[in-house]
Amino acid sequence: MPLINIQLTHEISPHQASQLAAGATKIMESILGKKPELTAVNISVLEPKHWFIGNNKLSDTSDFSAQVIAKISENTNTEEQKAQAIDAFHELLDEHYGPINEVSYVQLDEIPTTDWGYGGKTQEERRIKRTSDGSVDTNYYLQKGKYLRSGLAWEYLAKLKSVFSRA
């Protein structure tokens, strides 16, 4: 359930905004394994006279700059995946908005699963397996423990990682 805020220093067309939103969603899905139907993108424009690089107003230059802040669940991606996503965001901005100033930032904020959610539930609450009446599914966790002790733990952990990397 990524939440992506993209701040730009110059106006863009509705078509460019759609391209940026689609590209950001694709990065989240293809690189970080996030579900596109749960990815929200907000694009806003700040006036170049209010954006400074090296204590110089961007309005005094012909440069374009941007900032991307994407919130993702903590510990759901590797360092390599995050580095690839940061590079992909820079390329996306350069292609559909730029060329952008080198001093354009991409920030991936990892939020603890207990500290955010959607639809009135935290990500942690969504992670916990429940029965149809809402109670914790103890049978599921007993079976999971048996499975882990059976020597198939590595397979289970790989499966678990693929499930949660889409959250």
The CATH number of the domain where 46 resides is what? 3.30.429.10
| Domains in the chain, number | 2
Q: Are residues 86 and 14 in the same domain?
A: yes
Q: What is the pLDDT, as a whole number, of residue 163?
A: 65
Q: Are residues 8 and 84 in the same domain?
A: yes
Mean pLDDT of the 56-83 span: 91
Containing structural domain, residue 152: 128-164
Structure tokens at 147: 């499975």
Q: Are residues 93 and 141 in the same domain?
A: no
pTM recorded for the entire structure? 0.76
Q: Quote the CA–CA distance of 163 and 150 in Å, as a whole number.
A: 21
C-alpha R_g of the chain: 20
- Residue 90: which residues within 8 A CB-CB, separation 6 or more? 100, 104, 106
Residue 120 lies in a domain: no
Q: Given pLDDT bands bounded at 50, 70 and 90, which one contains residue 48?
A: confident
Q: Which residue reads 């509705």 in tokens?
A: 14
Q: Are residues 144 and 95 in the same domain?
A: no
Q: Quote the CA–CA distance of 70 and 74 in Å, as a whole number.
A: 12
